[in-house]
């Protein structure tokens, strides 16, 4: 089946990309190196041509794996990475000063074994540095050919507009799924107006929007869902599970898995929306990729919209510490559950 590609800047990509965070950290122990490289190669073999990583993922190891596994196939995919969130002496740092951005880019280029990063995001806003200064530094990297396009991540409309006034922004990465609809407050419309791709991370709800959904009782001690994402706390998660009944019903009607339904829903929310599910499982990788060819009926999209109203999700998206470093708009009711 022919699938219409979507645009990031001047590049066309398959509608479903690959997030490369959890091959190295976040949801438990990292994948075995051989398995991680096999998954990356399989993604490109399938036709996945948008790989999204970051300096902080595995303290640089995600970038290294992409470089080691795919350096000879560099022309087959759009490569995205991120700066500002970084690491020093094994500790996480937040630094959007121009000199820090330049140093981070040079380090990423070496780990990725490439001369150019196609899309380079600011991973988070830095309250200590005007975004105009940070984007100015990124614009210099574009002029030098070190990066091709500039992106932002987990920022709201105000930051997007200020950044775009300095240099065109190609993509805004935001958490966006049936379970997290904050981009619909403001940034989604701003992206449409400015011609910015909306890259949806965690479009399968960090495993919630699957059948069966993830079981928090089975999470590894190193799984960030235990500490950073309150919706997975036992008392909240149990109250969220009934939301899946309608998703299962719709998936059965559409002839797809619940995860594919979740991805197809994001694709239906705009031609500029590109989900980047992550996985460590080859079967799930293939399932996610196949979702790029699924088109949901408009009435089913509206039905899911009504069922997954934002106020029905139990628990805040982030802990207060996590929320403090993003500027994506919040709903008035968030944090009260």
Compute the chain's Rg from CA coordinates: 19
**Distance, CA of 248 to chain centre:** 24
61-65 long-range Cβ contacts below 8 angstroms, 24+ apart: 61/24, 61/25, 61/30, 62/20, 62/21, 62/23, 62/24, 63/108, 63/111, 63/112, 64/111, 64/112, 65/20, 65/23, 65/24, 65/33, 65/36, 65/37, 65/40
The residues facing 116 across adjacent strands are none
Q: Residue with structure tokens 């409309």? A: 157
Handedness of CA 241, 245, 251, 256 (dihedral sign): positive
**Distance, CA of 104 to chain centre:** 20
Look at residues 47, 29, 86, 44 and name the one whose alpha carbon lies nearest to residue 63: 86
Side-chain half-sphere CA neighbours of 265 within 13 A: 32
| Catalytic sites, residue numbers | 57
SS (H, E, C) 202-269: CCCHHHCCCCCCCCHHHCCCCCHHHCCCHHHCHHHHHHHHHHHHHHHHHHHHHCCCHHHHHHHHHHHC
Q: DSSP of 34-91, one letter per residue?
A: HHHHHHHHHHHHHT--EEE--TTGGGGHHHHHHHHHHGGGGGGSEEEEEESEEEETTE
Residue 165 burial (CB count, 10 A): 12
CA 4 – CA 248 distance, rounded (Å) = 26
CA 15 – CA 189 distance, rounded (Å) = 19
């Amino acid at each position: 089946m022919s699938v219409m590609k979507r645009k990031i800047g001047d590049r066309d990509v398959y509608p479903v990309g690959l997030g490369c965070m959890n091959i190295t950290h976040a949801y438990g122990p990292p994948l075995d190196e051989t398995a991680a490289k096999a998954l990356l190669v399989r993604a490109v073999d399938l036709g996945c041509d948008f790989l999204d990583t970051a300096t902080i993922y595995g303290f640089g190891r995600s970038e290294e794996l992409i470089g080691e596994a795919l350096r000879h196939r560099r022309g087959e995919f759009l490569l995205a990475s991120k700066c500002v969130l970084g690491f020093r002496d094994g500790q996480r740092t937040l630094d959007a000063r121009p000199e820090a951005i330049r140093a981070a880019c040079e380090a990423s280029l070496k780990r990725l074994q490439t001369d150019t990063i196609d899309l380079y995001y600011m991973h988070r806003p830095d309250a200590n540095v005007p975004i105009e200064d940070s984007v100015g530094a990124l614009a210099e990297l574009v002029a030098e050919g070190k990066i091709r396009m500039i992106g932002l991540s987990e920022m709201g409309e105000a930051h997007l507009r200020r950044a775009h006034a300095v240099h065109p922004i190609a993509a805004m990465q935001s958490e966006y799924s049936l379970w997290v609809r904050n981009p619909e407050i403001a940034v989604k419309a701003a992206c449409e107006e400015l011609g910015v791709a909306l890259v949806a991370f965690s479009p399968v709800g960090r495993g919630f929007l699957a059948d069966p959904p993830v079981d928090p009782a089975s999470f590894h001690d190193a799984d960030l869902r235990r500490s950073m994402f309150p919706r997975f706390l036992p008392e909240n998660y149990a109250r969220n599970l009934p939301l899946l009944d309608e998703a299962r019903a719709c998936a059965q009607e559409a002839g797809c898995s619940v995860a594919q339904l979740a991805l197809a829903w994001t694709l239906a929310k705009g031609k500029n929306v590109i989900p980047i599910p992550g996985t460590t499982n080859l079967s799930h990788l293939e399932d996610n990729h196949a979702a790029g060819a699924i088109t949901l009926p408009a009435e089913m999209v509206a039905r899911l919209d009504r069922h997954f109203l934002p106020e029905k999700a139990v628990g805040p998206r982030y802990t207060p510490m996590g929320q403090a470093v993003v500027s994506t708009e919040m709903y008035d009711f968030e944090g009260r559950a």
